[in-house]
Structure 1
Amino acid sequence: MTTSTALTIDLQPLRALADEARCAPEQTLDSRRLFHGRGQCYPGLEFVCIDFFQPVVLVTLFAEPPEGWLAECIPEITAIAVAANWAVVVQRRYWQGAPSEVVVGEVPERWLAARGPLRFWLNPLTQQNVGYFLDMEPGRQWLESKASGKRVLNLFAYTCAFSVVAVAAGAERVVNVDMSKKALGQGRANHHLNGLDKQRSAFLPEQILKSWSRIRRQGPYDIVIFDPPSFQRGSFVASKDYVKLVRRLPELMPDGGDVLACLNAPELASDFLHQCFAENCPAARFIERLPSAPEFPDINPEQRLKLLHFEFAGASAAAP
């Protein structure tokens, strides 16, 4: 049984990338999304996304594909990849443990995401996510443009990609806070990998909602980034806990500054963030919602990653 034409993925972005690689074999190509089915812009293909982390083409399946789909599509993908000397990996998120299968080629024991001259260690294929989120690129670009000479607080830092970008862009200091010591350890490794000054970054393994005094002591900050999980049992639920972050802004940045409020919760629209700030930090003025990464089209913009820039006037303006 073969799949219908309607379920055929446009592989032209992958072919173009392979052509680019053949023209400049010594160049490391930026990591990127090549196909985004989850945005529901391609009916019937909501179950699949394709990413590129040189030399790996990662096909992620979020639900069981239609009968015959893999048999038809994977050989086309592998043919392109083999010609470029890349590996192809299929990960099945819909199976317990999200197992990955190397279909062709070899995956390096330690593999990397690439962003211009910067590199980021990726998680082993035994883990569900690779540890570097491609849809966050507009946020990284925003921070890169503002970080020079600034003190940055990176809350829910995970593997500290924001921090690497900020320090490389000239930030005076970045404080990374996350409850996972393992993730912060990878964050340290990312800084070391890029040869960044150790004195300009700090790593605090803290339960954020219970550690404000320790976080505040590292400040004051000029830029604050909120990038929490939408739901993490026992530590953070965005629908009720996001307001607790916003209320702390006057003590975290008493002299004012810029805030990047991130939210990756399809069930919560951007109005949720606007309300959080209006009710809990009215001195923070909304500036803009950052444009979404074009490689991540979505039939409903409010379901995709939301990145809102606010400007906080300072603690004196926030006082009643």
Structure 2
Amino acid sequence: MKRIIAAIEQGLSEENNDARRFFHGRGQCYEGLGFINVDWFAPVLLITLYQEPDAVDWHAFTDNLTVFQSDMDAVLVQRRYIRGAPLETLWGDIPQQAQALEQGLRYSLSFGGKQNVGFFLDMLPGREWLKQRATGKKVLNLFSYTCAFSVVAIAENAHSVVNLDMSSAALNVGRSNHRLNQHDDRLKRDIQFLSHDLFRSWKKVISKGPYDIVIIDPPSRQKGSFIATSDYIKVVRRLLSLMPKGGDILACLNAPELDEQFLLDLFTEACPEASFVERLEARKDFPEADSRRNLKMLHYQL
């Protein structure tokens, strides 16, 4: 556990308030530490546990953490191995209006209510990819969740964004994220939020196109919503109707059991008109012993 303390100390020394991962144990790069991740949402430290730690090691670790008490308002511990992923505090209070800062943009966070806090750190390379090409473009953000891609697109002066997600609650957070970044005037005319099941709403989605950029970032397995092995191909088959004049696609998949070849084969079968450009490189603070298991972000062009 001393390795984790050293990682936290190194992260704090960088004087960077952008949200980031201080320690990525789940990447299985550190023997005996695959059960723990540590994320920094200044001034809050979030420790996520995926199994019960050794009691002696955990006690020593939390004692050593106190040296950083002046640098943090709160240290939160989420126990994912317990049903409901309960959250506790080592010190401080669970913040009610927390935010993640990333490259000058802000995103709402929700601690304690659900397993996820509402913002995925590992998707930064995808947001940077969009930042480079969003200006003046019509963007379709499928499975948009809390609309982080939309925030980036509008910040880069995209022509418009259509966000689609089955969760109206997530889309409401998306609206809040735009307001956090002073996008109120664009909300009224250039940003749309569709709380729909995509597979029952193709006509509506197509009618709002054609799009220059399509982002596909679904859950890998969510009962009643999306199962990657059977449903991803249904989206890829529709790409030509969504962007008949061509454009850029970011196809994402966070499923350790499915490697990059799954997506490559799927595009070859369902949309051979799309050319593979590259797989985006993962964040440096998310090291993986096996790159086949981590987040896949593939850039295609029609």
Normalization by structure 2: what TM-score? 0.96
**Alpha-carbon separation, structure 1, partners of 2:57 and 2:41:** 23
1:65 matched to 2:53? The reply is yes
1:194 matched to 2:181? The reply is yes
Q: Higher Cα Rg: structure 1 or 2?
A: 1
1:86 matched to 2:73? The reply is yes
Structure 2 runs not aligned, ≥5 long:
none
User: Do the aligned residues in 2 keep the contact of 1:263 with 1:307 (CA within 8 Å)?
Assistant: yes
Deviation at 1:20, TM superposition (A): 4.5
Give the corresponding residue for 1:263.
Answer: 253
1:175 matched to 2:169? The reply is no
Q: Counterparts in 2 of 1:15-30, with a 5 A limit?
A: 15-21=9-15, 29-30=17-18
- Provide, for residues 42-66 of structure 1, a one-character-per-residue CA deviation record: whole Å limited to 9, x for no partner: 1111110000011110010011112
Give the secondary-structure state (helix, strand or coil) at the position aligned to 1:11: helix
**Alpha-carbon separation, structure 2, partners of 1:76 and 1:86:** 16
236-245 or 62-71: bigger deviation: 62-71
- Provide, for residues 122-151 of structure 1, a one-character-per-residue CA deviation record: whole Å limited to 9, x for no partner: 113232110100000000000000100000
User: Do the aligned residues in 1 keep the contact of 2:94 with 2:112 (CA within 8 Å)?
Assistant: no
Amino acid at match of 1:60: T
**Alpha-carbon separation, structure 1, partners of 2:12 and 2:74:** 12
Give the secondary-structure state (helix, strand or coil) at the position aligned to 2:4: coil
**Alpha-carbon separation, structure 1, partners of 2:198 and 2:105:** 28
Give the corresponding residue for 1:34.
Answer: 22
User: Do the aligned residues in 2 keep the contact of 1:92 with 1:99 (CA within 8 Å)?
Assistant: yes
Of 47, 56, 77 in structure 1, the residue corresponding to residue 35 of structure 2 is 47
1:289 matched to 2:283? The reply is no
**Alpha-carbon separation, structure 2, partners of 1:310 and 1:11:** 40
**Alpha-carbon separation, structure 2, partners of 1:12 and 1:216:** 51
Runs of 4+ in structure 1 off by over 4 angstroms are none
Amino acid at match of 1:195: Q
Give the corresponding residue for 1:123.
Answer: 110
99-108 or 249-258: bigger deviation: 99-108
Give the corresponding residue for 1:216.
Answer: 206
Give the corresponding residue for 1:24.
Answer: none
Same amino acid, percent of matched pairs: 49
Deviation at 1:215, TM superposition (A): 0.6
89-98 or 251-260: bigger deviation: 89-98
Give the corresponding residue for 2:2.
Answer: 8
Give the corresponding residue for 1:96.
Answer: 83
Question: How many positions carry a matched residue from both structures?
Answer: 299
Give the secondary-structure state (helix, strand or coil) at the position aligned to 1:9: helix
Give the corresponding residue for 1:272.
Answer: 262
- Provide, for residues 229-282 of structure 1, a one-character-per-residue CA deviation record: whole Å limited to 9, x for no partner: 000101210011110000000100010000000000011111010111101110
**Alpha-carbon separation, structure 2, partners of 1:257 and 1:188:** 26
User: Do the aligned residues in 2 keep the contact of 1:110 with 1:124 (CA within 8 Å)?
Assistant: no
